[in-house]
Structure 1
Amino acid sequence: MDKAEFGKYFTNIFQDGFIMLSIGLGHDLGLFKVMCEAKEPISSKEVAKKLDFKERYTREWLSTMVAASIIKQDRDSNLYKVPEQYKEIIMTNMGFAPALFSVGMRAKAVKETFKKDGPYGINFNGEEGADFFQWFDGYRTLICDETVDKKILPLLDQQGAVSKLKSGIKVLDLGCGTGNYVTAFAQRFPKSTFIGLDYSEVSLKRCNESKQEKALTNVTFTKCDAHNLPDEWAESFDYVFVYDVLHDLPNPHKALGQIYKVLKKDGFFSLIEIGFHSNPVDNADDKGAALYYGVSTFICLQSSMSEEPHIGYGACWGKENIEKALLDANFKINAKSSLIDIDKEAFFFCTK
């Protein structure tokens, strides 16, 4: 890029950032829900009335969305509408935007971690952690069913794993977070039994609430450190599921050893991780990678660095290094689907 092109590109980043903040507001305040449910074009007054909002702020938000080409406004009537073909995409994908509110709360603390005499990292405990898990649950709730049905299960089915889940096996979701995926699996495979494991009491509280809401009897949740799984669990699980967790851990290699320990000899282990390259040079000019490096600076790397040995791989430690770590942990990677990209994530199907 020459100077003029770079200037435009750099300015666009700032523009996109503020638009994302407004998308986050639209998600959290229910503005997108009202707009996407509207059968006919609607006025700013009508939108404000439905939500008991001030019309002036509502109109400013709508104007932001019109300028961003997300919502359309008729010049003559001044009414607003969301094009029908936009609605599903908005309602499914908008949940990531409020992450900016959560990471923004961490900005001051993150700055301190850069300093040589500052803390190594920030974990998910405390007020910031509670705010993060609230956003995390909302985001995963929006994308979970589609991710499971259209992306994960077809890959598992290629390896014959779905038939085993249907017949009934014992499954561990290591680092289950707010339990979105393990409860989704439990709903779809009632003959299997599931354990969701996490170290955060905040996330586990939400897990148990979700279990009650869905009236599930085949899933339980436990607080545990992924680096030190109980010895009595040795070779007791048919399937271990890990989704976007390994890079958050202070010692991913030790955690892989623990997974190997609890997996049955004929069991299987699926790992889903951020699927960019291990060498940052290979991710150049990829805004998706830039997004995840940025998220990692505020969340993933902070978690990994928060405790010894401070390995600090970060979200983009990369599919090449992940594959090496799996092989070093004595896992065999199935040749057919050793590395399948799910959007910007990589799927590994492993056995002992």
Structure 2
Amino acid sequence: MAFVSEPRDLAQIVRDGLGALVFAFGYKTGIVDAFGEVEQPCTAEELSQKAGKKLRYIQEWLGSMVATGIVTMTEDGKYSLPHDKSVINMWGHASTLFPIFCELFPKLEEATSQDGPSGYPSYNPFLQWVDLCRSAETLKTWNEMFLVPFMKLKPGDAFTILDLGCGFGKHSREVAKLYPNSKIFAIDMDERSIEHAKKEISTCGPNNIEYLCTKGGNLPKEWTEKFDFVIINDVLHDSYEVDDILKETKRVLKADGYAAAYDPPISSYHLKIVQDVLAQFYLPCSFFHCLPVSSMGPSGEGLGIGWGYERKKQKIEEHGFRVIQVGDKDVNTIQEGIVFQKLLKRKGSNS
């Protein structure tokens, strides 16, 4: 039987991983920031002084970075970091996942054992890492790409909106600012996250948002047909109660309301992710965090990011929703968001 892909050089993959780990150390401890501030090309001594680190360690760090190809050298032995600042910050922050995942190694080792626990709860350092990804500029870009086209499905700008699984509340606050005439209800099951979110709006606002600590699968009874829009951002693949969440979403949506679930755009099928750069990034995150967290339910059946677009779309449709196209991509094309609405009942039908 023919194989659909050729294996990559395993030795080089491991070498690159080790180099990325050293780069992560430099980013996390300020060496990379110092590199950006010192005049380049620079000597090891100049970088050592700027970073406030011992020279011998800076020399070894630079050697590793030169060998990996992240840092370049001149003929007279000086060093440069020839990458755009935005690229350095993006992938520097991404690289700081390495120490977080190293801390989770023992927990994951237990969870993967046949007689071990089904998974483990959300790990706060990872949640904080995700929150740092959501800068004001990043959220602005995301809203322009996804939220605004979604909200244009209904006329006007005075809506009742549910942010289901809001985390620390940073995105829901941006939504509230973007739609000041709307009322936003933001919920999360993690009490620490909600307390943090409440503290933020108590000092900085906005005033058109309300936070509540509750499960997405157990929303207040009085919320039946309350919402024009339900936003489920980066939630379903982490959840062990997807069926309950979708049932509740259906209950609290108005008849003419819309919901949208956003998750990493990964296929459910491994044959479709061969050499997929997004899968190369997101599936390791899922292996260490999303899958164990989503395995904590009574059934122990984990979803994780590997659950994928196709199976998520199928699950949404099984709950009596119609998936609709927003933007240029067909609903059967793998993408970050799935927008859906309740199927309208036919006259004389009880279903």
The answer, yes or no, to whether TM exceeds 0.5 is yes
For 1:174 and 1:217, the matched residues in 2 are separated by 18
* Cα distance, 1:288 vs structure 2: 3.4
- Residues 63-88 of structure 1, C-alpha deviations (whole Å, 9 max, x = no match): 3333333333333152x3333x6222
Measured at CA, do residues 35 and 179 of structure 1 come closer, stay the same or move farther in structure 2, by a change above 3 Å?
farther
Q: In 2, distance between residues paired with 1:278 and 1:82?
A: 38
Query: Which letter maps to 1:173?
Result: D
Q: Which residue identity does 1:138 align to in structure 2? A: L
**Aligned residue for 2:348?**
none
Aligned residue type for 1:31: I
Matched, 1:275 2:265: yes
Rate the CA distance shift 1:32–1:234 in 2: closer, same or farther, 3 A: farther
Alignment-derived partner of residue 194 in structure 1: 184
Q: Which residue of 2 aligns with 1:300?
A: 290
Asked if the contact 2:48/2:55 (under 8 Å) is kept, the reply is yes
Letter in 1 for 2:339: F
Alpha carbons of 1:13 and 1:204: their partners in 2 closer, same or farther (altered >3 Å)? farther
Contact 1:133 1:203 in 2 (8 A): no
Which digits, 9 at most, give the CA deviation of each residue in 1:163-206, with x for residues without a partner?
A: 86x72322222112222322222333333332322222333344
2:258 partner SS: strand
Deviation at 1:104, TM superposition (A): 1.4
| C-alpha deviation, 1:303, in angstroms | 0.8
What are the superposed Cα offsets for residues 142-180 of structure 1, whole Å, 9 maximum, x if unpaired? xx633x43344234444552886x723222221122223
CA distance in 2, matches of 1:93, 1:307: 33
8 Å Cα contact 1:275/1:316 also seen in 2: no
TM superposition shift of 1:340: 6.8
The range that moved more, 47-56 or 250-259, is 47-56
Counterpart of 1:318? 308
Deviation at 1:351, TM superposition (A): 2.0
With over 3 angstroms needed to count, the CA separation of the structure-2 counterparts of 1:39 and 1:100, relative to structure 1, is same
Q: Which residue of 2 aligns with 1:172?
A: 162
- Partner Cα separation in structure 2 for residue 316 and residue 118 of structure 1: 21
Which residue of the partner structure matches residue 97 of structure 2?
99
Are residues 176 and 338 of structure 1, via their aligned partners in 2, closer, same or farther at CA, if it must alter by over 3 Å? farther
In 2: Cα distance, 1:214 partner to 1:73 partner: 47
1:289 maps onto 2:279 in alignment: yes
Match of 2:345 in 1: none
Q: How far did residue 41 of structure 1 move?
A: 3.6
In structure 2, the residue matched to 1:161 is: 152
Cα drift, residue 55 of structure 1: 2.9
Q: Is the 8 A contact 1:274 1:315 kept in 2?
A: yes
In 2, the alpha carbon distance for the partners of 1:280 and 1:159 equals 30
Give unmatched runs, 5+ long, in structure 2: 343-351
Tell me the amino acid that sits aligned with residue 113 of structure 1.
Answer: A
- Residue matched to 1:30: 30
Cα-to-partner distance string for 1:228-258 (whole Å, 9 max, x where unaligned): 1111222222211112210111121221111
With normalisation by structure 2, the TM-score equals 0.84
| 2:21 pairs with 1:13 | no
Identity %: 26
1:150 maps to amino acid:
T
Q: Please say if 1:244 is aligned against 2:234.
A: yes
1:1-80 matches, within 5 Å, as: 6=7, 9-38=9-38, 40-76=40-76, 78=78, 80=79
Map of 2:115 onto structure 1: 117
Q: 1:294 & 1:213 partners in 2: Cα distance?
A: 37
Rounded to whole Å, the distance in 2 between the matches of 1:250 and 1:161 is 31
Structure 1 residues 4-43: Cα deviation after superposition (integer angstroms, max 9, x where no partner): x85x611122122222222322332233333334465444
SS at match of 1:316: helix
Describe the shift of the 1:51–1:280 C-alpha distance in structure 2 as closer, same or farther (beyond 3 A): same
Query: Could you list the per-position Cα deviations for residues 110-139 of structure 1 after superposition, in whole angstroms to 9, with x for gaps in the alignment?
Result: 111122221111011xxxx22222222223
* CA apart distance, 1:298: 1.4
Q: Is the 8 A contact 2:266 2:305 kept in 1?
A: no
Distance (Å, rounded) in 1 between the aligned partners of 2:196 and 2:190: 10
Provide the rounded CA distance (Å) in 1 between the counterparts of 2:194 and 2:45: 41
1:145 corresponds to 2:137: yes
Matched, 1:136 2:130: yes
Structure 1, gaps ≥5 residues long: none
Q: What is the identity, as a one-letter code, of the residue corresponding to 1:86? A: D
Kept in 2: contact 1:145–1:184 (CA 8 A)? no
**Contact kept in structure 2, 1:340 and 1:348, CA below 8 Å:** no
From the two aligned structures, give the one with the greater helix fraction.
1
Q: 1:27 to 1:238 in 2, by over 3 A?
A: farther
CA distance in 2, matches of 1:118, 1:66: 42
Higher-Rg structure is 2
Which secondary structure does the structure 2 equivalent of 1:106 belong to?
helix
Distance 1:24 1:285, change over 3 A: same
Deviations 1:84-119 (A, max 9, x none): x62221223322221221121111121111222211
Matched residues in 2 for 1:228 and 1:338: separation? Answer: 34
Calculate the TM-score normalised by the size of structure 1.
0.84
